[in-house]
A and B are shown apart, each in its own frame.
Chain A
């Protein structure tokens, strides 16, 4: 079992290294570099798995711990009923998020992003923006490093801002909840996706309008879907990927 895992890991690393960008001219011995990256990759998964498991145990354990402090344990029957009513949707959504975002983020970034949350409204756009600025290609070690740096930084910023915010909750509350600022904070996500739309639509201008048109029509004709926008990401992404694939195939045939 261990051996198969080792072979798999080597196989993965060989392919990953073969795909590596050549833009970074290193003076390193290729064998030494490969050995280093093998070790880095193996440790990333090891650390990622262990820390994720610990955080998971802490998050599940905390309600029981707090419950025992308050003098009452969670009602497992009620939790089960509520899970069936609302949890299943989020379970499906989590599976979709895992399948879609893991390849975008790579190993280190993936583990961190699923631990720290706020994927759609922060971590994914943040990592994509960092990737654009650094000019790295998906599936490369460079991209993996950039994505990990980006998500770790982003998570730390959130942790620090929330910690400071909680410390200063009393004086900050009237400012942050003022009527004047309310529209601004209600529109953080539209502001974010507006800026990202300009950046990304211009990368594939010939096909970007198609998913936008389809999604607009969908939300116009079925306005009730507006409350489930995140569920529409998968079909919208799938259509765009299919269109991009068709364009890419055409380009390959012409060569």
Chain B
């Protein structure tokens, strides 16, 4: 009995040591260099796109103030979700090292996707659950490959069909608009409707989580996401009132970020 226990302890220590060594390997400067190079390339692509779009906007006579507001609002808008994404990097760094999750979540990845695929991949490679303890070089390379392959289709489709797909849609929309219909074409309305559908799916899921999260119609599930979205919507209403009624247009750039921050603060207080 005693011998068995000490044997288990030795195996456990060896696994921990193996996990630590593997993590050390996964955090090595070479892997940082590989991932950092790809991130740097994507950052350069973003800068090129930003400069080209700005210049084109100025060239066709768009108001510079409007372009500036777009950049400012997108900047403030993205800070909080980016911190949320950083938490994803921290969460995954315990099992996959830091550079790979850093790459995945800076480029192409999505917070909700990465963990799910990484878990499924670790089961398929036979290491059970996603953990540094059981990670081997082969398992890591396989998990990393699968994470890349599963989510690459948006890029593949963009390369193949973005141009022709947009040409088809824009031709339809533009020709409808030039027919002189009152109130413009349907394209704009369709985009708004699609987004309302998207938001409805998420808010509906929060309602469902509360009402049936612990059994259908038990009203005892998690109420926090629903309350957070209500608080955030209420704060947005206040911002909108100031923007529209008091002409405080500068608030537009900060309204979403501000509403989110207060909504998230409410989650702490609940």
Q: Are A219 and B151 in contact (CB under 8 A)?
A: no
Can you list 11 residue pairs at the A/B interface with Cβ under 8 Å? A59-B38, A62-B103, A74-B144, A75-B138, A114-B154, A142-B60, A148-B50, A157-B82, A186-B224, A191-B229, A223-B216
Is B19 on the interface with A (CB-CB < 8 A)? no
Q: State the Cβ distance, B267 to closest chain A Cβ, in Å.
A: 4
* Those of B95-133 within 8 Å (CB) of chain A: 98-100, 102-103, 105-113, 116-117, 120-121, 123-126
Q: State the Cβ distance, A26 to closest chain B Cβ, in Å.
A: 3
Contact with B42, one of A55, A185, A219, A233 (Cβ below 8 angstroms): A55
Residues of A contacting B107 with CB < 8 Å? 55, 59, 115-117
Q: Known contacts A199-B236, A239-B197: does B105 contact A162 (CB below 8 Å)?
A: yes
Residues of A contacting B47 with CB < 8 Å? 152, 156
Q: State the Cβ distance, A37 to closest chain B Cβ, in Å.
A: 7
Is A24 on the interface with B (CB-CB < 8 A)? yes
Q: State the Cβ distance, A220 to closest chain B Cβ, in Å.
A: 5
* Those of B21-58 within 8 Å (CB) of chain A: 25, 28, 30-31, 34-35, 37-39, 41-43, 45-50, 52-54, 56-57
Q: State the Cβ distance, B150 to closest chain A Cβ, in Å.
A: 4
- Across chains A and B, the number of contacting residue pairs, with CB separation under 8 Å, is 624
Q: Are B79 and A177 in contact (CB under 8 A)?
A: no
Shortest Cβ distance from A154 into B: residue:
B78
Q: Are B171 and A63 in contact (CB under 8 A)?
A: no
Q: State the Cβ distance, A229 to closest chain B Cβ, in Å.
A: 4
Shortest Cβ distance from A100 into B: residue:
B194
Shortest Cβ-Cβ A-B pairs, 6 listed: A219-B208, A215-B204, A194-B229, A26-B61, A194-B232, A237-B197
Q: State the Cβ distance, B256 to closest chain A Cβ, in Å.
A: 5
Q: Are A37 and B138 in contact (CB under 8 A)?
A: no
Is B152 on the interface with A (CB-CB < 8 A)? yes
Q: Are B228 and A190 in contact (CB under 8 A)?
A: yes
Q: Are A70 and B232 in contact (CB under 8 A)?
A: no
Residues of A contacting B175 with CB < 8 Å? 15, 18
Q: State the Cβ distance, B75 to closest chain A Cβ, in Å.
A: 5
Contact with A157, one of B78, B90, B109, B211 (Cβ below 8 angstroms): B78
Residues of B contacting A237 with CB < 8 Å? 193-195, 197-198, 201
